[in-house]
């Protein structure tokens, strides 16, 4: 017996039509899930709630349910989503109102308890969070969702559960797993991690996209989860993209921080995963996930703390033609002198040299100079900053150009992670009939590490390197290239041999790098990759990480490694001044760097 769990959203703002597409697909579903929350989303919802206390949930989910409520009921598909955000009770009530308006007999339950704003000051102090806390939400597990489904709910909405919980909960409900069924729970956790980000499992953000059908919208994924926790990942027929070992691997190595993947309900050991071609019960080709081992969950869970960090502004200047460095130095001196009377708290400059020799177009002759400013108060980064940039228009370097008119100062948020014992976090199911049910925390918690999908213990008082496996014993040769017998090497882009997927985890950046499953000498290529990509080598290939802590975690069963660059994103996406604040393109930069690869590993590589 398997339960068929689909996904129709990977983030707040994902394809609105996806819920209807999944419900109307010829392959039947038992449960349709959606992930609407992220660290940045919680800040957005917090701002919504400041304007209107009745909000704080994902409004796009309401639009989807208004369109699809009757269809889901007719098809017998249960809906589970974390779209409740900061106000799951409010969302549940809004859905009941819509059901009444449409004449649909719909049982709506919600899960709450994650909101720890009453402890915000204490949590902020323990995590080093400065300034006021706007949101403080603990990551809950999946057993509350399972209880709501067992209680007869057609729709379950939650606040801040872990992303995979919306998939784990239905599997727990269907198969009757208990707290100590660690291997089965770990298997469902892995399946949930694969499908939680929607089409990222079917070709979205996939570095091998040129081999896929991208002529039509990518299909959303489905996990067929068996009673032992194994699963087959598929997508509806006649949709774009594909489900392959590589597209699934891409999502498995996304936004993790090591082979030990922590969750409030179980620890999944990613180095035990076995991937192979498989087939869903309805005949769709897909990828089978098996062999996942689990162990008891940690004693603590992560708390997402978002606060207003102050105000920010920026200008972007175009520098064209010759003497780019001299032009940048002159205008920088001018701007900083103009800011001296009311200096911002922070000024960050970045120069992107995108110009080329003998440029065939003006764009090819142009580089971009950015100036970002931040301050606790709006005035130093508002008109005072904008005026400096505008008043230099005729008094600075030749070709002075602003890409956009100066804007007013805008508030920005900062993210911190706090940690609390699971036993201290309420986990409450409010059933459709109003009955409240407390969900007890797990009884066995030997690791003492924070849950919530991260194995890095930052700010918890524990050894932050406990689970970090660094490849420093695999010393590089010369420029960092590792040997493969006596093979000659070719200097080519790294991406000639490997795929990569990258993203953000708070202020850290994560890059998964692996050898494609179809490589004819994959075992040898993986051995070379494990030896090549050391922390020191990462710092050479990504110079912006040269002064930062870098961890490299081998994942040979997945054909690659996971790289974590600590602090690259500062205080998180809402505060970062990087061109790519979520590190989504960091892996593609790494793939574009030239490295010396053994020629024999490239002989049959297209």
> Are residues 352 and 499 located together in one domain of the fold?
no
> Are residues 155 and 48 located together in one domain of the fold?
yes
Q: Is 179 within 8 Å of 442 (Cβ atoms)?
A: yes
Higher pLDDT, 552 or 478: 552
Say if residue 443's pLDDT is above 90. no
What pLDDT is attached to residue 257? 82
Distance from C-alpha of 596 to C-alpha of 264, rounded to nearest angstrom: 42
* Domain endpoint, select from 391, 413, 435: 413
Q: Give residue-wise pLDDT tens across range 476-520.
A: 333 444 455 567 999 999 999 999 999 998 899 999 999 999 999
pTM: 0.90
Question: Is residue 576 a part of any domain in this protein?
Answer: yes
Question: Is residue 170 a part of any domain in this protein?
Answer: yes
Q: At which residue do the structure tokens 């974390």 appear?
A: 82
> Are residues 393 and 526 located together in one domain of the fold?
no
> Are residues 398 and 537 located together in one domain of the fold?
no
Question: Is residue 483 a part of any domain in this protein?
Answer: no
What pLDDT is attached to residue 323? 97
Count of domains in the chain?
3
Question: Quick one: three-class SS letters along 249-285?
Answer: HHHHCCCCCCCEEECCCCEEEHHHCEEEEEECCCCCE
Question: Is residue 130 a part of any domain in this protein?
Answer: no
> Are residues 388 and 531 located together in one domain of the fold?
no
> Are residues 404 and 435 located together in one domain of the fold?
no
> Are residues 403 and 431 located together in one domain of the fold?
no
What pLDDT is attached to residue 92? 98
Domain that holds residue 550: 489-602
DSSP state of 372: E
Distance from C-alpha of 125 to C-alpha of 603, rounded to nearest angstrom: 56
Percent above pLDDT 90 for the chain: 80
Distance from C-alpha of 289 to C-alpha of 278, rounded to nearest angstrom: 9
The sign of the CA dihedral 188, 267, 439, 126 is negative
Question: Is residue 387 a part of any domain in this protein?
Answer: yes
Q: Please give the C-alpha separations between residue 388 and each of 82, 187, 392, in angstroms, as whole numbers.
A: 45, 57, 7
Percent above pLDDT 70 for the chain: 91
Question: Is residue 210 a part of any domain in this protein?
Answer: yes
Token pair for residue 584? 């989504």
**CATH number assigned to the domain comprising residue 380:** 3.30.70
Q: Is 506 within 8 Å of 572 (Cβ atoms)?
A: yes
Say if residue 569's pLDDT is above 70. yes
Poorest-pLDDT segment among 54-63, 211-220, 457-466, 594-603? 457-466
Q: Distance between terminal CA atoms of the chain?
A: 41
pLDDT band at 413 (very low <50, low <70, confident <90, very high): confident
What pLDDT is attached to residue 397? 97
Question: Is residue 78 a part of any domain in this protein?
Answer: yes
> Are residues 56 and 177 located together in one domain of the fold?
yes
Q: Is 298 within 8 Å of 442 (Cβ atoms)?
A: no
What pLDDT is attached to residue 107? 98
Q: Which helix (H) or strand (E) holds 513?
A: strand 508-514
What pLDDT is attached to residue 308? 84
What pLDDT is attached to residue 263? 96
> Are residues 276 and 171 located together in one domain of the fold?
yes
Question: Is residue 260 a part of any domain in this protein?
Answer: yes
> Are residues 267 and 209 located together in one domain of the fold?
yes
Q: Which helix (H) or strand (E) holds 172?
A: helix 165-175
What does the pLDDT average to over 137-152? Answer: 98
DSSP state of 317: E
Q: Please give the C-alpha separations between residue 276 and each of 63, 117, 239, 241, 387, in angstroms, as whole numbers.
A: 38, 44, 21, 18, 60
> Are residues 292 and 317 located together in one domain of the fold?
no
Distance from C-alpha of 423 to C-alpha of 409, rounded to nearest angstrom: 42
Token pair for residue 482? 């590792």
* Domain endpoint, select from 389, 413, 437: 413
> Are residues 266 and 324 located together in one domain of the fold?
no
Q: Please give the C-alpha separations between residue 537 and each of 492, 564, 589, in angstroms, as whole numbers.
A: 16, 13, 14
CB neighbours of 576 closer than 8 A, spacing ≥ 6? 507, 569, 570, 582
């Amino acid at each position: 017996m398997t339960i068929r769990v689909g996904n129709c959203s990977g983030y707040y703002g994902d394809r609105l039509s996806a819920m209807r597409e999944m419900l109307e697909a010829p392959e039947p579903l038992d449960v349709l899930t959606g992930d609407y929350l992220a660290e940045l989303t919680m800040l957005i919802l917090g701002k919504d709630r400041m304007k209107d206390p009745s909000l704080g949930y994902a409004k796009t989910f309401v639009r989807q349910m208004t369109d699809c409520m009757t269809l889901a009921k007719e098809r017998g598909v249960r809906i589970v989503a974390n779209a409740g955000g900061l106000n799951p009770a409010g969302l549940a009530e809004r859905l009941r109102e819509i059901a009444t308006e449409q004449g649909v007999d719909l049982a709506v339950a919600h899960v709450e308890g994650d909101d720890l704003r009453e402890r915000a000051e204490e949590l902020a102090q323990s995590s080093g969070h400065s300034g006021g806390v706007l949101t403080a939400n603990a990551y809950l597990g999946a057993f509350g969702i399972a209880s709501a489904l067992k209680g007869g709910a057609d729709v379950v909405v939650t606040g801040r559960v872990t992303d995979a919980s919306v998939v784990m909960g239905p599997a727990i409900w269907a198969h009757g797993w208990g707290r100590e069924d660690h291997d089965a729970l770990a298997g469902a956790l892995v399946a949930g991690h694969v499908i939680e980000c929607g089409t990222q499992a079917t070709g979205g953000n996939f570095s091998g996209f040129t081999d896929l059908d991208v002529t039509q919208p990518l299909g959303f994924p489905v996990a067929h989860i068996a009673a032992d926790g194994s699963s087959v990942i598929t997508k509806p027929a006649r949709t774009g993209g594909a489900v392959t070992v590589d597209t699934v691997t891409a999502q498995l190595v996304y936004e993790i921080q090591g082979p030990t993947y922590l969750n409030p309900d179980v620890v999944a050991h990613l180095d035990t995963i076995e991937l192979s071609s498989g087939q869903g019960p309805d005949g769709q080709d897909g990828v089978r996930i098996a062999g996942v081992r689990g162990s008891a969950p940690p004693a603590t869970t992560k708390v997402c703390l978002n606060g207003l960090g102050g105000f920010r502004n920026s200008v972007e200047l175009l520098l064209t033609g010759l003497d780019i460095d001299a032009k940048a130095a002159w205008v920088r001196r001018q701007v900083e002198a103009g800011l001296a009377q009311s200096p911002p708290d922070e000024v960050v400059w970045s120069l992107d040299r995108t110009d080329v020799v003998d440029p065939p177009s003006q764009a090819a002759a142009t580089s971009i100079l950015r100036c970002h400013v931040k301050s606790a108060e709006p005035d130093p980064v508002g008109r005072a900053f904008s005026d400096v940039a505008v008043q230099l228009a005729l008094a600075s370097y030749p070709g002075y150009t602003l890409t956009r008119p100066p804007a007013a100062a805008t508030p920005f948020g900062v993210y911190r992670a706090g940690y609390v014992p699971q036993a201290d976090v309420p986990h409450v199911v409010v059933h459709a009939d109003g009955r409240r049910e407390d969900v007890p925390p797990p009884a066995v918690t030997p690791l003492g590490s924070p849950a919530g999908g991260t194995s890095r213990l930052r700010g918890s008082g524990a050894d932050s390197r406990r689970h970090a496996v660094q490849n420093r014993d695999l010393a590089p040769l010369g420029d960092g290239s590792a040997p493969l017998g006596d093979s000659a090497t070719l200097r080519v882009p790294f991406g000639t041999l490997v795929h990569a997927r990258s993203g953000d985890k708070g202020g850290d950046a994560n890059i998964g790098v692996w050898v494609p499953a179809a490589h004819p000498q994959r075992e040898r290529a993986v051995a070379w990759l494990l030896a090549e990509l050391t922390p020191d080598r990462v710092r050479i290939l990504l110079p912006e990480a040269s002064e930062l802590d870098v961890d490299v975690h081998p994942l040979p069963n997945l054909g690659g490694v996971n790289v974590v660059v600590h602090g690259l994103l500062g205080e998180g996406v809402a505060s970062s001044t990087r061109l790519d604040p979520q590190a989504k393109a960091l892996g593609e930069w790494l793939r574009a760097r030239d490295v010396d690869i053994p020629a024999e590993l490239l002989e049959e590589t297209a």
